[in-house]
């Protein structure tokens, strides 16, 4: 049913329909409205979950780990400093192969303290073994939750997933969102079928320590599972498309890329602005397109390579920076194209800490890229430096 | 019980005469098989679960050094949601409990989860090579409170964790010693019966960290009680209910001089002043808990 909802509430409605049995979360802007909405649903018995009011994000994810290991479907949400506080547990959850789904309302990392959007928080956890899916709008944020659970819980995957959507820009924006019915979601996402759980009738040890003789093989298994997740995501996304009419079979999405000379690459809500700018530039006769990355982990290298095959200039918009190197998305794209493409890949660090991006900024990036000027912070206010 | 049916099985990698290993065996006799154990990083985790082996005959999970109480909260919540009824028991070292895990323990107790948290108190971080913890006794020589020209070892007395958890409204808080096995088992059984968060702190001498021969573990454990440096008591709903009395308390010398961690108090010459401070701690314990059998 189509409803006009705040992004956070659209996500909360999606989570409710995924029927988590245990929720543990700690409030932090701009994630707060999600967990408040879920708490209300539990208080009204609209959602049959145990809501654990933990004392920190560190405990939130730890409690989720325990609940998942004991056989329940679980949920959490956080952002920025909260995600950073979970760092240690994030690796643990992945290492123990618990298919937890967590929403990240993307926000900049302090210092300086900044509550607005960029994607530094989740990007900084890219190596933890979690899948990371980025939503362009609130419809996608909603839909990715059903898909994330289904992919995470697939027995060929069994990895946790972050559904990332931009703080404020999406969390606090009202948009029409088509929310499926509970029956529809139940049919798409059946009850959780855990493997290897804590059960007194069948004792086993979880999270033991492993010597150099075994540790590498555990890491290898996670990596292989992450690779399998590409195919599983595509299948689940296609199935979602057949059921709900919105196709997510692609880990990437191309927009007017077919004959493009210049391709912009981006993740998250900025893609909406880029699409509009691309339309305008196309009217001006510029052959520009967008490659939207939907899944950052697993990273769809093959798909990126294929999509950018005919492009001569690639301009990556990075809402993060790996300090001392470049933006993380640009590094991935360069790696994907390495050895197969003559395209120039230029990186633009943009929209950090919530700075606004308009269509004219996208056009300016394309102008720079066409001149071969890149690998820089875009729109630096040199007068305040 | 024959070896086959032990829930904590032999063959683990603990030092011969390890107090915590014996405590684990006794604790599981108290919990019975319908139990999920949550561990923290530390000696016991390492000696009992080198992959692909495990000494645990009950479901067991370890996540991190500091989050056992939070993981247990999630497990308890998950079981409740599934309509399952297993005991959830944390078995964690003193470092995990007194220091780095306090945040999670405080949260779990305040929320009132139905879990029993058992700290095996070997009075230091043993797994990482004998560094002090908040449970290390006054004047103990550890690698981070070394004895030196200006130091007589650990400068602070033990943190009173039972009191802290009592003030969280825990319905049952007890101390025990692995040197009194039946008492320990009884207390664990009692905790299993009581709803809500419970805490048991078990004194578990560590031959390697404290510096004594592995054949002496029981004797050292008993000496701690007989001197009053360790008190075995039970608190129910914040009220002291039962204390193990001691007929004629031994002087602390007897306990201190058989452990290398206190050797500096006796060699090259006896440090009467410092030993008197430790005697005062024992006397204070005796008075507060009414240890002396009149
Ligand atoms: C966050 C973190 N900091 C430090 C460590 C290193 N570390 C592992 S076990 C341990 C000490 C454990 O002490 P305790 O809980 O008393 O158990 P014991 O080893 O004495 O049995 C330390 C410091 C760690 N694993 N994690
Ligand atoms: S170092 Fe101490 S606690 Fe660790 S196994 Fe040896 S005796 Fe036990």
What is the mean pLDDT of the segment spanning A81-109? 98
pLDDT at B184 exceeding the cut of 90: yes
Q: What is the pLDDT of residue A1?
A: 87
Decide: helix, strand or coil at residue B132.
coil
Q: How far apart are CA B270 and CA B253, in angstroms?
A: 10
pLDDT at B3 exceeding the cut of 90: no
How many interchain CB pairs under 8 A, A with B? 160
B278: Cα separation from own chain's centroid: 20
Task: Give the chain B residue whose CA is nearest to the CA of A200.
Answer: B34
Mark out the alpha helices in A159-316 (DSSP H runs): 182-188, 212-244, 270-283, 301-307
- A249: tokens are 């079979």
Sequence-separated (6 or more) residues with CB below 8 Å from residue A30: A8, A79, A105, A107, A115, A117, A167, A168, A171, A172
A50 in B contact zone (CB under 8 Å): yes
pLDDT above 70 coverage of chain A, percent = 100
A35: Cα separation from own chain's centroid: 18
Chain A residues with CB under 8 Å of B50 CB are 208-211
Q: Tens of pLDDT along A124-171?
A: 999 999 999 999 999 999 999 999 999 999 999 999 999 999 999 999
ipTM more than 0.90? yes
Task: Give the chain A residue whose CA is nearest to the CA of B85.
Answer: A200
Q: Cα-flanking dihedrals φ and ψ of residue A83, to 5°?
A: -65, -40
pTM of the model: 0.97
Q: How far apart are CA A320 and CA A121, in angstroms?
A: 8
Chain A residues with CB under 8 Å of B34 CB are 200
pLDDT at A117 exceeding the cut of 90: yes
A200–B58 CB contact, under 8 Å: yes
pLDDT at B23 exceeding the cut of 80: yes
pLDDT at B1 exceeding the cut of 50: no
């Amino acid at each position: 049913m189509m409803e006009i909802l705040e992004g956070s509430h659209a996500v909360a409605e999606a989570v409710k329909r995924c029927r988590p049995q245990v929720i543990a979360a700690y409030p932090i802007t701009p994630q707060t409205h999600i967990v408040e909405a879920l708490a209300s649903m539990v208080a009204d018995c609209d959602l049959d979950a145990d809501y654990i009011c933990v004392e920190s994000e560190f405990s939130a994810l730890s409690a989720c780990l325990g609940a998942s290991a004991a056989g329940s479907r679980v949920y959490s949400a956080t952002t920025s400093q909260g995600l950073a506080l979970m760092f240690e547990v994030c690796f643990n959850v992945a290492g123990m192969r618990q298919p937890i789904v967590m929403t990240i309302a993307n926000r900049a990392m302090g210092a300086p303290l900044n509550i607005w959007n960029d994607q530094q928080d989740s990007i900084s956890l890219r190596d933890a073994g979690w899948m990371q899916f980025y939503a362009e709008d609130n419809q996608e944020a909603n839909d990715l939750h059903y898909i994330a659970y289904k992919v995470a819980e697939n027995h060929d995957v069994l990895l946790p997933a972050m559904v990332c959507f931009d703080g404020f820009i999406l969390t606090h924006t009202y948009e029409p969102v088509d929310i499926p019915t509970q029956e529809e979601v139940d049919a798409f996402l059946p009850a959780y079928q855990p493997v290897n759980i804590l059960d007194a009738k069948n004792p086993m040890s979880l999270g033991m320590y492993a010597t150099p003789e075994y540790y590498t093989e555990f890491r290898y298994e996670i990596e292989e599972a992450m690779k399998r997740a590409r195919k599983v995501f595509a299948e689940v996304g296609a199935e979602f498309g057949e059921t709900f009419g919105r196709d997510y079979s692609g880990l990437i999405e191309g927009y007017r890329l077919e004959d493009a000379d210049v391709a912009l690459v981006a993740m998250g809500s900025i893609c909406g602005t880029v699409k509009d700018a691309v339309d305008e530039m196309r009217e001006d006769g510029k052959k520009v397109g967008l490659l939207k990355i939907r899944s950052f982990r697993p990273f769809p290298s093959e798909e990126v390579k294929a999509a950018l095959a005919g492009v001569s200039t690639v301009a990556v918009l990075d809402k993060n920076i790996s300090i001392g190197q470049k933006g993380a998305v640009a590094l991935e794209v360069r790696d994907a194209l390495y050895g197969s493409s003559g395209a120039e890949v230029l990186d633009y660090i943009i929209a950090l800490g919530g700075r606004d991006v308009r269509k004219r900024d996208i056009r300016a990036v394309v102008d720079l890229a066409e001149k071969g000027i890149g690998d820089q912070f875009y729109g630096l206010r040199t007068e305040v430096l | 019980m024959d070896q086959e049916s032990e829930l904590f099985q032999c063959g683990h990698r603990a030092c011969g005469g390890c107090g915590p290993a014996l405590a684990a065996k006794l604790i599981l006799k108290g919990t019975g098989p319908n139990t999920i154990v949550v561990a923290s990083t530390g000696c016991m985790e390492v000696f009992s679960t080198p992959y692909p082996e495990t000494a645990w005959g009950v479901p067991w999970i370890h996540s991190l050094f500091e989050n056992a109480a939070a993981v247990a909260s999630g497990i308890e919540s998950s079981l409740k949601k599934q309509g399952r009824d297993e005991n959830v028991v944390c078995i964690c070292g003193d470092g995990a409990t007194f220091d780095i895990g306090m945040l999670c323990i405080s949260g779990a107790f305040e929320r009132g989860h139905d879990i029993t948290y058992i700290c095996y108190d070997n009075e230091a971080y043993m797994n990482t090579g004998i560094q002090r913890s908040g449970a290390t006794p006054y004047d103990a020589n550890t690698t981070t409170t070394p004895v030196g020209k200006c130091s007589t070892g650990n400068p602070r007395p033990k943190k009173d964790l039972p009191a802290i958890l009592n003030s969280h409204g825990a319905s049952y808080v007890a101390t025990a010693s692995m040197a009194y096995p039946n008492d320990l088992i009884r207390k664990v059984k009692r905790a299993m019966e009581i709803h809500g968060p419970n805490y048991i702190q078990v004194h578990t001498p560590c031959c390697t960290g404290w510096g004594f021969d592995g054949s002496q573990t029981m004797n050292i454990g008993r000496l701690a009680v007989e001197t009053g440096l360790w008190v075995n008591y039970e608190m129910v709903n914040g009220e002291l209910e039962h204390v193990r009395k001691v007929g004629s308390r031994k002087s602390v010398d007897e306990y201190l001089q058989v452990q290398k961690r206190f050797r500096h108090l006796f060699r090259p010459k006896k440090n009467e002043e410092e030993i008197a401070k430790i005697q005062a701690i024992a006397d204070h314990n005796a008075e507060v808990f009414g240890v002396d059998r009149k």
